[in-house]
Amino acid sequence: MAEPGFCGHCGRGLDEVDHDVCRARLRLEPPRYCAQCRRRMVVQVIPRGWSATCVEHGTVSGG
Amino acid sequence: MTAMSVHIEPSLHDPSQLADLREQVLERGEGLSEEQILSVLTSPDELLPDLLELAHAVRMKWCGPEVEVEGIVSLKTGGCPEDCHFCSQSGQFTSPVRSVWLNIPELVKAAEQTAATGASEFCIVAAVRGPDERLMSQMRDGVKAIKEAVDIEVAASLGMLTQEQVDDLVAMGVHRYNHNLEAARSYFPNVVTTHSWEERWDTCEMVRNSGMELCCGCLVGMGETIEQRAELAAQLAELQPDEVPLNFLNPRPGTPFGDLPLMDSKDALRTIAAFRLAMPRTILRYAGGRELTLGDLGTRDGLLGGINAVIVGNYLTTLGRNPEEDLELLEDLKMPIKALSEQI
């Protein structure tokens, strides 16, 4: 898989802007944008985990 | 959109003035009037420890030391036709949340995860104006599957209901129904334009008369005035819900309230104390936003200031604290988790 190029929180390029706030927010919310292609992902949150699926790049998950 | 902030001279500014409130709420169990709630909400920071102590004493006397633990899950996420300005699941905003349905095996897994924390309540939520037949059918299958697999009370939050739908949910064995007022009647048109506060009230009345328990709460920190916050607490008290979930606005990207600031933590704690003093016998639950608004220390202060129920684990579209952290906190505070089938 290619190096991540996009922020999972705001969807903008990792080199485009500073993402410190986004990284902090991602501690309390799942990513919404695919890190590979910035497509919006289908995200399902359950009490002890989450999964986020990009139609092109598959599923990532967390606890 | 945001209400104008007006400085209000506090009418409650000395611990000795709390004696009358103590007699009324702690000794007689009578909730505060709207005017009294306003006096609590406008009290100075120096009085906050005394207010929290009184609210905690009221909770312990009228509800007991138990804490009700609940988990929630989104059965149908996103694509909602309503325009609740705080909500990332509205289809009317540019929020990144996409529409998705949870299948029955995943729903049962979520209930099992919740029960494993010691929780007695599991709430199934859908982002809809009200349920259609597809959603009611999914609920029938889902509630049945959960009841066969997990020992937990099932609650639901599916928007506005018809009487027939209320009856269906009772027949399914749904124990409690959540439908929030969200905001004071006078502020509601600033928050939602696609339905009215009165429509919400009507659903709550139907639920209360159905045999299901009524869970009806709100969000604070949406730009309402202090007077409107007092109005909201008084309106909730008038409705007499079994449970009041208290959410603090977590501004969501892409929503009309996405750029509002977080609520001040002391205002949040004053709100907890005021709600407890307005509703001495109600289950008052920490819901969304506490992690950001109160942090770890404030969460503890709220549990010692009137809160007697928590949502553990993740929320509908955002993440919560690790459940073990909350359970350890309850153990530290010597607050036992309410057992299944035990009434607070």
Per-residue pLDDT of A5-61, as tens digits, reads 999 999 999 999 999 999 999 999 999 999 999 999 999 999 999 999 999 999 999
* Prediction pTM value: 0.94
The whole-number pLDDT of residue B163 equals 97
Give chain A's radius of gyration (CA, Å).
Answer: 11
pLDDT tens profile B78-89: 999 999 999 999
Say what the pLDDT of residue B2 is.
46
Q: How far apart are CA B66 and CA B246, in angstroms?
A: 18
The CA–CA distances, whole Å, from B179 to B188, B201, B223, B293 equal 14, 9, 21, 23
Q: What is the DSSP string of B103-142?
A: -HHHHHHHHHHHHHTT-SEEEEEE-SSS--HHHHHHHHHH
Q: Do B114 and A11 touch (CB under 8 A)?
A: no
Is 90 exceeded by the pLDDT of residue B116? yes
Output the pLDDT for position B8. Answer: 64
Residue B14: pLDDT above 90? no
Domains, chain B, ordered by start: 56-332 (3.20.20.70)
Q: What is the mean pLDDT of chain B?
A: 95
**Which of A19, A29, A33 to mutate against chain B (most B CBs within 10 Å)?**
A29
Contact criterion met (CB below 8 Å) for B32 and B277: yes
- Contact flag B323-A43 (C-beta cutoff 8 Å): no
CB atoms under 10 Å from CB of B234, counted, come to 21
pLDDT tens-digit map of B53-106:
999 999 999 999 999 999 999 999 999 999 999 999 999 999 999 999 999 999
Interface contact A41, partner B, CB < 8 A: yes
Q: Is B63 helix (H, G, I), strand (E, B) or coil?
A: coil
Contact between B291 and A28 using a beta-carbon 8 Å cutoff: yes
Query: Residue B9: what pLDDT?
Result: 66
Name the nearest CA neighbour of B268 among B289, B237, B240. Answer: B289
Residue B17: per-residue pLDDT: 87
- Environment class of B301 (CB within 10 Å of its CB; exposed 0-12, middle 13-18, buried 19+): buried
Contact B96 A40 (CB under 8 A): yes
Nearest CA in chain A to B95: A32
ipTM of the complex: 0.93
Cross-strand bridge partners of residue B80? B90
Residues of chain B neighbouring A48 (CB-CB closer than 8 A): 113, 313-314, 323
Q: What is the pLDDT of residue B341?
A: 63
pLDDT tens readout for residues B233-255? 999 999 999 999 999 999 999 99
Determine the distance from the C-alpha atom of residue B213 to the mean position of all C-alpha atoms in its chain, rounded to a whole number. 14
Question: Strands B243-248 and B218-220, how do they pair?
Answer: parallel
